[in-house]
């Protein structure tokens, strides 16, 4: 199946009342893990690359691996998404390369660290919406500022310093025309999200519910949504790792979000933990091994297991065959005719 727009995947998810995991990739094994999990669970797939991932893979390696995935898994609708574009230029380069969806994170200035003004955010996001929609490409924006730092991107902090204001979210969507909206409700990037087990009060789910009430047709996005499971931490620490005690976002909270308009759920840390644990185990137990396949294959299997579990938990499992891909040119036409709107 050709790469499809993320908008189509999220529209279908809204119809079906489920969420779609968006998993970060940097290399072949991670793409294979996601695609195998998608095949195993019959799920649509969102594969996303940060600026760091694009630099690591020199862009073209990653893009051509994605084309290989589209060839090898023709039954899986899949979107290739730019995660946290820091400027219109970054988003444009992703679109030129063939990404079918981009995030313009104008909640931060282009340094990827400094919180920006509302006006700046509207301006850069609107600019990206215009150039992306002309090509049928989906746009995710962000209002409020997420916590933590990942791949050098982020304002740091707990994620509760710049929680999204629902009224501002409405104004932002009206002024920009984004397809999907990342909101800050207390989640943060990276492994160290919470220093104790989160309770039902830790995340600002009431704000999420209020935003969905006011913007029922906007696809909401939860970032920093790894659950950081204890068993994955334990494997790493058992085989020589040194993770400090930490807690992530409970899957039940994500499922509550999905019942209230969350259609895209970003997961990266859990996969990193799974792969690193698997590699550590092989190297610890069989120090005589030196063929990279001896540890890359278990790492890939471990990530596939996590991704398949999340796909099932988010409800996207079983939905890969529900629809036919709409070509990007057709999406562009629909945007121009305003038959697709937020
Ligand atoms: Zn993020």
| Domain spans of the chain, in order of start | 6-320
- Calculate the average pLDDT of the chain: 95
Identify the helix (H) or strand (E) that includes residue 223. Answer: none
pLDDT band at 341 (very low <50, low <70, confident <90, very high): low
Mean pLDDT calculated for residue range 231-240: 97
Tell me how far the alpha carbon of residue 263 is from its chain's centroid. 10
266 Cα to the center of ligand 1, angstroms: 7
Q: Is the pLDDT of residue 171 over 90?
A: yes
* CATH superfamily placement of domain 6-320: Aldolase class I (3.20.20.70)
Identify the helix (H) or strand (E) that includes residue 135. Answer: none
Active-site amino acid positions = 83
Percent of the chain with pLDDT over 70: 99
Is this prediction's pTM over 0.85? Answer: yes
288 Cα to the center of ligand 1, angstroms: 38
DSSP annotation string for 88-125 = HHHHHHHHHHT-SEEEE-TTB-TTSSSB--HHHHHHHH
pLDDT band at 162 (very low <50, low <70, confident <90, very high): confident
317 Cα to the center of ligand 1, angstroms: 23
- Classify 123 in phi/psi space as left (phi over 0), alpha (psi -120 to 50) or beta: alpha
217 Cα to the center of ligand 1, angstroms: 21
pLDDT band at 170 (very low <50, low <70, confident <90, very high): very high
Q: Which residues pair with 23 in a beta bridge?
A: 47, 267
């Amino acid at each position: 199946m050709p790469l499809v727009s993320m908008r189509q995947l999220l529209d279908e998810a809204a119809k079906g009342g489920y969420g779609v995991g968006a998993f970060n990739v940097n290399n072949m094994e991670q793409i294979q893990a996601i695609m195998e999990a998608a095949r195993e669970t019959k799920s649509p797939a969102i594969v996303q690359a940060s600026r760091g991932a694009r630099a690591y893979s020199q862009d073209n390696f990653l893009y051509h691996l994605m084309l290989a995935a589209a060839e090898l898994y023709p039954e899986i609708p899949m979107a290739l998404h730019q995660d946290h574009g820091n400027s219109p230029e970054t988003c444009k380069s992703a679109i030129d390369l063939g990404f079918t969806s981009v995030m313009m994170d104008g909640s931060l200035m282009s340094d990827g660290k400094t919180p920006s003004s509302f006006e700046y955010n509207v301006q850069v996001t609107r600019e990206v919406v215009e150039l992306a929609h002309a090509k049928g490409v989906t746009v995710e924006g962000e209002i409020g500022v997420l916590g933590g730092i990942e791949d050098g991107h982020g304002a740091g902090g707990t994620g509760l310093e710049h929680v999204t204001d629902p009224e501002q979210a409405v104004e932002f969507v009206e002024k920009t025309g984004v397809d999907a909206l990342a909101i800050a409700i207390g989640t943060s990037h990276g492994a160290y999200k919470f220093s104790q087990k989160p309770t039902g009060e830790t995340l600002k789910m009431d704000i999420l519910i209020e935003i969905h009430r006011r913007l029922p047709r906007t696809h909401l996005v939860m970032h920093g949504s790894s659950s950081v499971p204890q068993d994955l931490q334990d494997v790493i620490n058992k085989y020589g790792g040194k993770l400090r005690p930490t807690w992530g976002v409970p899957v039940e909270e994500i499922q509550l979000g999905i019942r209230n308009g969350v259609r895209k759920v970003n997961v990266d840390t859990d996969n990193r933990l799974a792969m690193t644990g698997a590699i550590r185990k092989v190297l610890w137990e069989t120090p005589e091994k030196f063929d990279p396949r001896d540890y890359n294959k278990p790492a890939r299997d471990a990530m596939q297991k996590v991704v398949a579990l999340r796909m099932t938990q988010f409800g996207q499992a079983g939905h890969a065959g529900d629809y036919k891909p709409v070509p990007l040119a057709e999406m562009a036409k629909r945007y121009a005719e305003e038959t697709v709107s937020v």
